[in-house]
């Protein structure tokens, strides 16, 4: 009989959804999360609607949060030349402040155990894992999920390849108030060295989040100069920042964002969400991928326990295969699009093609998204 005990490192989107999925199937689940809830996170806060059917199956109704319903995209190049289009699937505008806490409360209600501590190590010996934190004695588990996001000291401990590569991206996010900003619109405006997404959240606040290459940022020294001297060269961003009122005392920022290839299994840990691979944010699909990866992992874990002859090795292989089938081509497409956007000549050519054939844009967007998850 396989011992039922599951440890999840990280209580963000993928960790919380996996915890809910597994605990609803009567598994004892412990989530290790270093931060408390709620808190703001650097994110575009546009979540693809593809996740809605799956979450409903878990009795998670995002409509309870009254999200903004987004079905239109406005896209502009660095000069402000604009293309408007309808989004193929559309999405929801929800702050991470509300979404992560909502899932946390659902997880608590389904009996998930939370340990608020920083995981410092995960080791695997004799078919068991030991999770060590900065506060507690090691905990033992039969299965461990790595749901700790883009980058963690654990990646160094686990000797993951991408962690030693230089990653030259940073991101800044804040909430703003501005009258007349449509509820159903997500804007993606380019500037030299990056792009900025703007869309409404459930509170009516407009989330503004941009990704910039460190090389373009460093010349300007701080975010205020960078905003004034670079972002505001795009007339859409200039108009926005001139009229909008910031709602945060200080914007949030993160650096060292890596889009390098990662493994979906590492030292027998099933990696979820960004810990398995981060898609370029311009696609607006990272949250959906994180949630979908929680479903794929939960399903192979259920199979592992239902079937005595289904080995750990078989479970890992199936997870890796399913992960690749779902996400590899999206990641590739996200990569291609990001390279085009950040190359002024290519971006100009593509912008001209899209302006002449606007119906191409929704087709390109669908390539970075999945189908509704059933």
Ligand X SMILES: Cc1cc2nc3c(=O)[nH]c(=O)nc-3n(C[C@H](O)[C@H](O)[C@H](O)COP(=O)(O)OP(=O)(O)OC[C@H]3O[C@@H](n4cnc5c(N)ncnc54)[C@H](O)[C@@H]3O)c2cc1C
Give least dist CB 74 to ligand X, A: 15
- Other CB atoms within a 10 A radius of the CB of residue 299 amount to 15
Give the residue with the Cβ less far from ligand X, 97 or 305: 97
Query: Do 172 and 224 form a contact (C-beta atoms < 8 A)?
Result: no
Give least dist CB 207 to ligand X, A: 8
Give the residue with the Cβ less far from ligand X, 76 or 283: 283
Give least dist CB 49 to ligand X, A: 11
Q: What is the 3-state secondary structure (H, E, C) of 220-272?
A: CCCHHHHHHHCHHHCHHHHHHHHHCEECCCCCEEECCCCCCCCCCEECCEEEC
Give least dist CB 39 to ligand X, A: 8
Name the token pair of 23: 């605990």
What's the rounded Cα separation, in Å, for the pair 7 and 145? 6
Query: Do 94 and 202 form a contact (C-beta atoms < 8 A)?
Result: yes
What's the rounded Cα separation, in Å, for the pair 10 and 309? 30
Closest CA to 114 of 124, 99, 98, 100: 100
Give the residue with the Cβ less far from ligand X, 214 or 310: 214
What's the rounded Cα separation, in Å, for the pair 285 and 288? 5
Give least dist CB 306 to ligand X, A: 26
313: exposed, middle or buried (C-beta count within 10 Å: 0-12, 13-18, 19+)? exposed
Give least dist CB 337 to ligand X, A: 14
Give the residue with the Cβ less far from ligand X, 294 or 305: 294
Give the residue with the Cβ less far from ligand X, 133 or 351: 133
Give the residue with the Cβ less far from ligand X, 73 or 315: 73
What's the rounded Cα separation, in Å, for the pair 70 and 72? 6
Give least dist CB 307 to ligand X, A: 28
**Which residues contribute to the site for ligand X (CB under 6 A)?**
9-15, 32-35, 42-47, 118-119, 147-149, 152, 154, 171, 197, 209, 211, 257, 273-275, 281, 284-288, 290
Closest CA to 234 of 280, 180, 183, 197: 197
- Give the CB-nearest residue to ligand X: 12
Give the residue with the Cβ less far from ligand X, 211 or 341: 211
Give least dist CB 262 to ligand X, A: 11
Give the residue with the Cβ less far from ligand X, 70 or 305: 70
């Amino acid at each position: 009989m396989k011992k039922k005990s599951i440890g999840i490192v990280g209580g963000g989107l993928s960790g919380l959804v996996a915890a809910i999925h597994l605990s609803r199937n009567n598994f004892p689940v412990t989530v290790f999360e270093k931060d408390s809830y709620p808190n703001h996170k650097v994110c575009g806060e546009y979540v693809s609607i593809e996740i809605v059917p799956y979450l409903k199956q878990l009795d998670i109704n995002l409509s309870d949060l009254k999200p903004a319903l987004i079905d239109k995209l406005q896209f502009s190049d660095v000069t402000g030349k604009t293309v408007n289009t309808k989004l193929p699937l559309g999405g929801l505008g929800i702050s991470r402040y509300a979404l992560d806490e909502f899932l946390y409360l659902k997880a608590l209600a389904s009996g998930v155990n939370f340990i608020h501590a920083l995981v410092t190590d995960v080791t695997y010996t004799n078919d068991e894992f030991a999770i060590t934190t900065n506060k507690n004695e090691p905990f033992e588990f039969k299965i461990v999920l790595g749901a700790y996001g883009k980058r963690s000291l654990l990646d160094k401990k686990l000797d993951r390849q991408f962690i030693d590569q230089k990653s030259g991206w940073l991101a800044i996010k804040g909430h703003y108030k501005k009258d007349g900003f449509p509820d159903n619109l997500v804007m993606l405006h380019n500037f030299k060295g990056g792009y900025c997404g703007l869309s409404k959240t459930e509170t009516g606040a407009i989330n503004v989040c941009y990704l910039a290459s460190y090389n373009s940022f460093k010349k300007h020294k701080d975010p205020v100069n960078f905003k004034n001297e670079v972002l505001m060269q795009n007339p859409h961003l200039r108009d926005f920042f001139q009229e909008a009122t910031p709602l945060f005392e200080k914007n949030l920022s993160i650096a060292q964002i890596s889009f390098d290839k990662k493994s979906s299994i590492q030292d027998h840990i099933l990696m979820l969400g960004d810990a398995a691979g981060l898609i370029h944010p311009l696609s607006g699909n990272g949250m959906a991928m994180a949630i979908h990866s929680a479903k794929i992992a939960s399903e192979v874990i259920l199979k592992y326990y239902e079937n005595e002859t289904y080995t750990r090795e078989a479970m890992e292989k199936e997870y890796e295969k399913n992960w690749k089938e779902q996400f590899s081509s999206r990641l590739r497409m996200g990569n291609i699009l990001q390279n085009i956007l950040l190359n002024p000549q290519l971006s100009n050519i593509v912008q001209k093609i899209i302006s002449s054939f606007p119906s191409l844009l929704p087709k390109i967007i669908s390539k970075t998204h999945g189908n509704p998850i059933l």
